[in-house]
Amino acid sequence: IMNLRKGSKVWAEDRDSAWVAAEVADFVGKQVRVVTSAGKKVLALPEKLHPRDADDEEHNGVDDMTKLTYLNEPEVLYNLERRYELNDIYTYTGSILIAVNPFTRLPHLYNVHMMDQYKGAPFGQLSPHVFAVADASFRAMINEGKSQSILVSGESGAGKTETTKLIMQYLTYVGGRTASAGDDRKVEQQVLESNPLLEAFGNARTIRNDNSSRFGKFVEIQFDANGRISGAAIRTYLLERSRVVQITDPERNYHCFYQLCASGRDAEIYKLGHPSMFHYLNQSKTYELEGVSSADEYLKTRRAMDIVGISSEDQEAIFRTLAGILHLGNIEFSPGKEHDSSVIKDQKSGFHMQMAANLFMCDVDLLLATLSTRTIQTREGNIVKALDCNAAIASRDALAKTIYARLFDWLVDKINRSVGQDPNSRVQIGVLDIYGFECFERNSFEQFCINFANEKLQQHFNEHVFKMEQEEYSKEEINWSYIEFIDNQDVLDLIEKKPIGIIALLDEACMFPKSTHETLSTKLFHHFRSHLRLEKTKFSETDFRIAHYAGKVTYQTETFIEKNRDYVVVEHCNLLSSSKCPFVAGLFPSLPEESSRSSYKFSSVSSRFKQQLQALMETLNSTEPHYVRCVKPNSLNRPQKFEKLSILHQLRCGGVLEAVRISLAGYPTRRSYSEFVDRFGLLAPDLLDGSYDEKMITQNILQKLKLENFQLGRTKVFLRAGQIGSLDSRRAEVLDSAAKCIQHRFRTFIARRDFVSVRAAACDLQAYCRGCLARMLYEVKRKTMAAIIMQKYSRGWLIRSGYVKERAAAIAIQSSIRGFAVRQKFLYGKKHRAATLIQAQWRVRRFRLAFRHHQASIIAIQCLWRRKLARREFRRLKQEANEAGALRMAKNKLEKQLEDLTWRLHLEKRLRVSNDEAKLMEISKFQKTLESMNLELDAAKLATINECNKNAVLQTQLELSMKEKSALERELVSVAELKKENAQLKSALDTLESKNSALELALVKAQKESDAAIKKLRQVEEKWFQLQENVKSLETKLSNLEEENHILRQKALSVSPKSNRSGLVKAFSEKYSSALALPNSERKHVFDSPTPTKLLLPFSHGLSESRRTKLTAERHQENFELLSRCIREDLGFKDGKPVAACIVYNCLLHWHAFESERTAIFDYIIEGINEVLKVGDENITLPYWLSNASALLCLLQRNLRTTGFLIAAGQRSSGASALTARVAQTLKSPFKHIGFEDGLSHMEARYPAILFKQQLTACVEKIFGLIRDNIKKELSPLLGLCIQAPKIARGKSSRSPGNVPQQLPSSQWESIIEFLDSLMSRLRANHVPSFFIRKLITQVFSFINIQLFNSLLLRRECCTFSNGEYVKSGLADLEKWIVNAKEEYAGTSWHELNYIRQAVGFLVIHQKRKKSLEEIRQDLCPALTVRQIYRISTMYWDDKYGTQSVSNDVVAQMREILNRDSQNLTSNSFLLDDDLSIPFSTEDIDMAIPSIDPSDIEPPSFLSEYSCVQFLIQHQK
């Protein structure tokens, strides 16, 4: 019983809105006067009122109904309404999902990223979603090995079919079925693509829905042992066969008939016209659907048939059969000549009879006889009985229904065969899409069967809900044995119990030909007169009313018997089985002999439906059920329209309120201990001091308040119905008393403040009066003192004036005398300095002439000696060059190459001409730009010269002025004795000084202009140099690209018939083993240039051919063993340089591998690196090889070039190679000093070397991606713990002693910091370049931002004030880490956290309701989209201070923007996508990593075991 008091918040019943919010105003006897939210005063009984929690309204609803403070009907209804206004269409009621049809597109809820978020997430952790239900069923099937089922129910238009599609889409996503052989379509695609076909033949327009499914569908998705989809099957239930022959206005028949009539050419072939011409369609005047084209739908149905795999012949037969049914319905009969006989009514009926026979491809006379007569078999023989008109029409309709039903069954079977079933599947997930509870103004046999099915499902639903309640109570370890189970078995017994049940009585009535609906009703009322669930209506003798779980439904029995009868007429079957159309004959196989003896084979529709329903229930009972209740918010199919009465009726029909009633029978109110203490701890504040055991505090509070029958679970407290209202009433009393105390204190404060202000005003007035008197006295004294001071200063001025005049005269005389002396001294010093300068210049010239004479002599001697040495060396080289053998071989070889290349050059001319033209155009553009820059440079230089000339003129003028100044000074000395002349000279001197200062200012200005011009000139020169560098770099890149393309073209053209391709393919297929023993024709192409061993052993030319082959194979085997060991072993680093990369590069360079036309060594290296990455420890191997592979790539990028392919340097003869090698070795040290050795390091790369560089680039990108993915994999569980504050921290933060907030535990964030520290130490220990570390850390922080932000938007418990503070403190720790890591390694990582920083900042600000949308978008969250801000605003709730989210106006503005944008955007998801791209290129690596000298390393000790790398050891020595 609810405790009502004045001011209590309640829900009151309302005729229009079902329930309205109200407040108790007064008590009138046994009634209560309440004031509604509209201001209307209403009297109501206390038991008709329900308590209301005003706090829930501020939270924009809850995502689970069980979290409601008061679990009652109005709270459930208004919670759905609040969430629907925010486009939160999904809500839980325990494990049941309620889905409200939004009637608008919400693509952000159903993309792949959203499915990935719900994949593997615990049920209830994220926001409610249909994907969560599908994932829960899939995980339960995988973990428990038990089949699952998902029951989707709701009335027409509630979105059942769409929800079923989404469930199958998600199951296919997580099931991951691969396409079978010869079929690239998935099971889900095949099932969904068959929907248009099933909708065309099984859907029709009803009063409530234009596309209502008139059959039940159970889609069974089968899985194999690995959890992958292996097959699927579709089962259908209770097709509404009577709709084929009988419809009511404004409903329609099945869509396929109207589509066929609108098919155009096909309709003309079948002699069809407008639907109004056919009896089966014109019973209703509705022929078209709004916004739907029957012709377009016909084409979609045809496409669906093609997708399912129905051949064109079968398609033609299907539509021929449909046309035959329409013509069959237009056949009318009239009484015949004999008694109780019938004949064709008129010529029109005869035409339709002939058309029906032609379409069914059967005999027309036999068809007429089948419809108008019956054959009865007796012992004496067959008796033919004529049928009257009514019986003939009934026979016609029975034939039409039978044909259509068998056609529909054939389509379903065809779809199942197309999809494919797995007979070995042991587990499956079934998705049931079945009609909901129906209650119309007139309810017939179909509604009776549908509601019977819903009663069965409701019983199963009640058992499931009760079981869930039991599991919840068992999980929390509380006593639940006395809770009563609510059952509807009495209704099921009323309908299906034998031998006396409604179905049994209906079947009995159908067995007797003369039974009518009156006799059926009489039997029902006779047998169930005292049954509580069945009653007789007042205004009809034949109608009866059944009290279902969702309400009372009145059924009209006029058509019960006709619709329940399903006679299988033997003549019908024999007629169609003999059809010449194989399709029609296949629908009616031959009957057994015993069945053909009777003309009628009675079959009850209700009994067959009962059997199907029993089989369905057995299937569901063998599975673990999951429920989705679809709700239609309004009858107009409009978005943002919430019809409360209709939705309340659907909630009752869907069993949601029944689930609430079951919960109310136990413990409907459940609160975690932290939430209970936070809300009701103020009722006993003395119990909170010094205690942190929330369970004990909860128990003490309840005991102190003397509440009984509560239960304390492991994590929650369970309260009986009404107890939460009593607690809220006590809480309201405490808050009222606290408010009164606050008001008392506040009034005291106001009164004291007024008294203090009055007293202060009196003091101020007194002080002002005393100040006026003091100021008057002060003014008199000030004037007297001022007169004395004036006299003092006047006397002082007179005396000071006389003194100043005498002092000035003395100073003028002294300055003249001293100036004359100083000028004399200055002239003497100037002459002395000039003489010294002339002497110094003369001595310098004399010594320079002597030095130049000696230098010229030395240079002449050196030149003569070098010429002598050069002539000696030239004679020696000329003698060696005269060796005829080597030159002759080279000549022959070059002649052959010249012949081969001559015709190839002609082929390249045309390509080269076009490339040259494009290149010339580019070069001309750059030359024009360069010329313009040169002109600007010349102009700047001329300006600079002019400025210098001006400066010279000014300096000349200054010297002249100085000479004039000296002359005037001399004149001043000569007339110094005369005062008048002295005054004149002084005035002249002043004018000269002013001119001098003006000239100096002009000089300074000229110098500044000169500096500016020089600065501008330098900028122009810098731009010119930069443009030159850009032109050079572009030309270099262009030439490199052309040369690489040229190499590839030459490689493709150079394949001649003489080349042995089979040897190369064999080499790769045998894992490089054939490189050890190549045939003679290919041996010299492995490394075209000879190895150092050939140079050291010249006598090997005299060995036999087999001996040389063996030595070559051994040498290559040793090379491969060396490379394998360098790759497998950790060689470490030397001064930050990777040793392995340097050794590999030196070896390849020394073995001339880059110049080879054909070699397997590069593939061997790449394969070796990949093998090491597979078997090694990823934390050590990946950073190590990232350093080595990037270093090797940089060496290749900087030291290889692709120019000179046509020079054929790789095809030089052995003699020439030996000669070049000897010359290079002889002149090694001189070349090293003059820089020639660096020029030789740029090797000419061949085709294998270019491919090797590309493979190495891919290897670096692969290693970088593996490191990044491993980091994300390790970070994901840590981030899952960091997004939500620990419960201890959230529970105690508001109750810390002394109102001091306690410090939140940051162990989770510390674990992330420790992980980042270990990552940084691993990378730096392996000398990974800072460029890679910076890119890696940036992508890691981007991943942190995405994970935290997406989790925040998907979990409502994370959008709280206290959780925002917790995440903000963790982000501060990350900022400190970034600062400590420095920009060299962290880069712009802090900016990658923009989204989560702004979202958390929005959570923790106060006064959100005062913020406008513009302020939020511009100042608080500039990086966030409106949809993301809307999501955070609607999910936010303050668990610490109780503040509210943004204002309703801001929410309305955001909703308007979203509705407008959703029409234009293809994908408007509020979640962030992870970037999986590689954030660098080869050029970036080359520019970012410093240069490496591969020769300056210390070789490992094991290299001494290999003779092929002795050059490294000798070089080190």
Contact predicate 488/459, CB 8 Å: yes
- Give the 3-state secondary structure of residue 1305: coil
Contact predicate 1503/1513, CB 8 Å: yes
Q: Tokens standing for 1121?
A: 């063993």
Name the helix (H) or strand (E) containing 213.
strand 212-213
How does DSSP assign 1121-1148, residue by residue? Answer: HHHHHHHHS---EETTEEHHHHHHHHHH
CA distance 1047 to 1050: 5
How does DSSP assign 724-763, residue by residue? Answer: HHHHHHHHHHHHHHHHHHHHHHHHHHHHHHHHHHHHHHHH
Contact predicate 272/257, CB 8 Å: no
Placement of tokens 């189970």 in the chain: 485
Name the helix (H) or strand (E) containing 1376.
helix 1361-1386
CA distance 1475 to 37: 50
- Give the 3-state secondary structure of residue 247: coil
CA distance 1213 to 1019: 53
Placement of tokens 């699952």 in the chain: 148
Phi-psi region of 194 (alpha: psi -120 to 50; beta: other; left: phi over 0): alpha
- Give the 3-state secondary structure of residue 1109: helix
Q: Tokens standing for 1047?
A: 């190499």
- Give the 3-state secondary structure of residue 291: coil
- Give the 3-state secondary structure of residue 785: helix
- Give the 3-state secondary structure of residue 656: helix
For residue 1242, give the amino acid letter.
H
CA distance 89 to 83: 7
CA distance 224 to 1400: 44
Tell me the three-class secondary structure of 136-187, residue by residue: HHHHHHHHHCCCEEEEEECCCCCCHHHHHHHHHHHHHHHHCCCCCCCCCCCH
How does DSSP assign 503-547, residue by residue? Answer: HHHHHHHHHSTT--HHHHHHHHHHHTTT-TTEEE-SS-SS-EEEE
**How far is Cα of residue 85 from the mean position of the Cα atoms in its chain?**
25
Return the bridge partners of 353, or none. none
CA angle 582, 586, 590 (to 5 degrees): 120
- Point out the residues that are catalytic: 156-157, 161, 209, 212-213, 436, 438
* Of 437, 462, 459, 492, residue with least CA distance to 665: 462
CA angle 1192, 1195, 1198 (to 5 degrees): 150
For residue 758, give the amino acid letter.
V
Placement of tokens 């047998």 in the chain: 527
CA distance 1346 to 923: 47
CA distances for 1033 relative to 535, 1025, 1026, 1028, 1043, angstroms: 96, 12, 10, 9, 15
Is it true that the peptide bond before 499 is cis, omega within 30 degrees of 0? yes
